[in-house]
Structures are given as C-alpha cells and as structure tokens.
Amino acid sequence: MKTQPFHLAIPVQNLEKCRAFYRDILQCEEGRSDVHWVDFNFFGHQLVIHQKDGFNPERISNAVDGKDVPVPHFGVVLTWEDWHALAERLKAVNTNFVIEPCIRFEGKVGEQATLFFKDPENNALEFKAFKDIGQLFAK
C-alpha cells in the first residue's frame, strides 16, 4: 500500500501563539488559513490548528519502556539524521521536554530514537526515528 499523508485537526486556544510555534519552531510551512484555523505542512502531512476557546483537555499517561508517555500524542517518524537535527534545534531554543531525546527499546526489536514535548496549548508531540525503518512495525 502506498503511504498517503494523514490529516489531523487539533484544538488550540491561542491561534497566533500556536501558529508561531508550528511555523517558527518546528519550521512547518503554513498553508491555507482563516480567522479561526491554520493549515500546516507537518512533515508531509496536513495538520490544522483550530481556535477553540476554553479548550482544556484532560491529560493522562502510560508507562512505556520506563518512561511516562503522555496520551494522547501525535508526531512523525523522521529519518535518523532529521531526528537528530530536530532534537538539536529544539535543545537550542530551550524546549521543555516531557521526555528528553533518548533511545528507547535499546538492543530490542523496535529500537528507536524518541523525544516528547508539548506545544503552547499542551498538545503532546512525539518525534521518533529508526536506524532500521524496517523495525517500524516489527513485533
């Protein structure tokens, strides 16, 4: 099956603060927009932030490989090199990581580089990479 871009729409309260975050920090190209929403090219996928006053989602987490992973979360699987470049860029702007850049499942099936942080509206993002992309769906 050919991989197609996904579409994800998330609520935010402060549209301009989040617009600047996705555009300037994550360097996502801005697409169409209106007074209450903005489209972004989120690493080849369509992310839309929608202004929703009073939005305050309840956050939960799940233990994964000894880390407290925020749920829900979203993100992208990057190449090994792009993941390291993003990790360095996020460190350079003093990102407050939920889970610092690290290697998860080291020496096991599915070994991966991962990092978690939150956008200005507390939406959790995960970016990961596999040295061997064939491990992405390995059991």
pLDDT value for 137: 86
Q: Is 34 helix (H, G, I), strand (E, B) or coil?
A: coil
pTM of the model: 0.90
Q: Comparing C-alpha atoms, which of 48, 132, 126 is closest to residue 86? A: 126
Q: Comparing C-alpha atoms, which of 117, 129, 123, 98 is closest to residue 47? A: 123
Domains of the chain with bracketed CATH: 7-51 (3.10.180.10), 61-135 (3.10.180.10)
27-85 per-position pLDDT tens digit? 999 999 999 999 999 999 999 999 998 877 677 888 888 889 988 899 999 999 999 99
> 48 CB contacts (<8 Å, ≥6 apart)?
7, 8, 9, 10, 37, 38, 39, 40
pLDDT confidence band for 2 (50 / 70 / 90):
confident
Q: CB–CB of 21/62 below 8 Å?
A: no
**Better pLDDT: 58 or 127:** 127
Q: Tokens 């090994």 — which residue?
A: 80
